Amino acid sequence: MKRALILAVSLLSLRVDAGVALLDTVSSCPSVIKDVITVEMLLSDGFEPWDVTVGIVDTVNVVDTVDVAPRNDRHCEEQSDEAIQSVDTTNIVNTVDREPPISKRKIKFGRRAAFNHSQVSNVLVRIYRHDGESFSYAEYRNQAVFGVGFEVAGIIDWVLFDDALALDFSPGVVFRKPINTAVVGTSEVGLSVPVMLEWAPFGGGSGGGRGESASDVFARGRFERRHLRLFGGIWVGVPLYARVKWNGEESAPFRERSAADLGLICGVGVHVSDWAYVDVRGIFGLSGYDRARGHRLSQLAIGVNYVK
């Protein structure tokens, strides 16, 4: 009986020791189980960890380990490649290559200031004298003094073809003295509305070409033929205020003045910088200056223009 009791105690002791050893072994395995779960989670997004006996595996730590564990490089690279390939680059390319609207790309604005010389053709001045018995007169035809004046205007350029051809519209205000003699003279303020085609006969654009910018070319003062511009079109004028003066003293409204003028305009210009150019314009009158037959208004202007 005594021996049987000792044997039972020994077996129980061995069973308890084996159980403790088994618990120690399992308790040291959570890191291995966590690694396995981490790898499986990366290999399959739909994988869910198997049930683990409560008290042996810390499931909270397993979840934390999965969230912070480093991802497989190959898997990440494959996802990155797929994400890049799935991006539609068509719209991006089109956005870069698409040209701006015509209102911004084709229309330029600027301003102009010019010295103006005007003269009326076929001007006849008669000076009458009385000697006590009869009248006599002397005629002076086309003997006019220099008709000084100036003008200011705005500029609207509509580029039609690669800066080589443009429509130039430059309405402005002009002060001039078309008739200016020792006996009689006229002065007036009026509107000037030229509509011209601007043509670059040697190529459009003010750029320098051959790998150099226009600014570099202009800075060196080098003239190139593509800086040249030719102008041609029609001109319309409207006198707003006209006066006539006799003997340099008396003056009155010039009621004989025509209500509007019409003429042909042509000119030549040269760019002196990227956006500035000087030009010379001539206007040849087609309509009558006043009620006198054969009077035509002609003008010559030298101006500075800035268009950007």
| In the predicted structure, residue 239 carries a pLDDT above the cut 70 | yes
Of these ranges, 23-32, 125-134, 175-184, the one predicted with the greatest mean pLDDT is 175-184
CA within 13 Å, CB half, 182? 6
pLDDT mean over 82-107: 50
Plot region of 78 (φ>0 → left; ψ -120 to 50 → alpha; else → beta): alpha
C-alpha–C-alpha distance, residues 235 and 253, integer Å? 25
Q: Six-digit token pair at 221?
A: 């003062």
Q: Six-digit token pair at 189?
A: 């303020």
Q: What digits encode the pLDDT tens for the residues 45-61?
A: 555 555 444 444 444 44
146-155: string of b/e by CB count within 10 Å (b at 16+)? ebebebebeb
Ranges of each domain in the chain = 2-85, 103-307
| Structural contact between residues 224 and 200, judged by C-beta atoms closer than 8 angstroms | no
pLDDT mean over 18-34: 48
Q: What digits encode the pLDDT tens for the residues 130-163?
A: 888 888 887 777 766 678 899 999 999 999 987 7
pLDDT mean over 74-79: 49
CATH code for residues 103-307: 2.40.160.20
Reported as a pLDDT band with limits 50, 70 and 90, residue 110 is very high
Contacts of 194 (CB under 8 A, 6+ apart): 168, 169, 170, 233, 234, 235, 236, 265, 281, 283
CA dist 33 to 52, 71, 72, Å?
A: 10, 17, 18
Q: Six-digit token pair at 137?
A: 């007169």
| Structural contact between residues 146 and 176, judged by C-beta atoms closer than 8 angstroms | no
Reported as a pLDDT band with limits 50, 70 and 90, residue 69 is very low
| Structural contact between residues 168 and 155, judged by C-beta atoms closer than 8 angstroms | yes
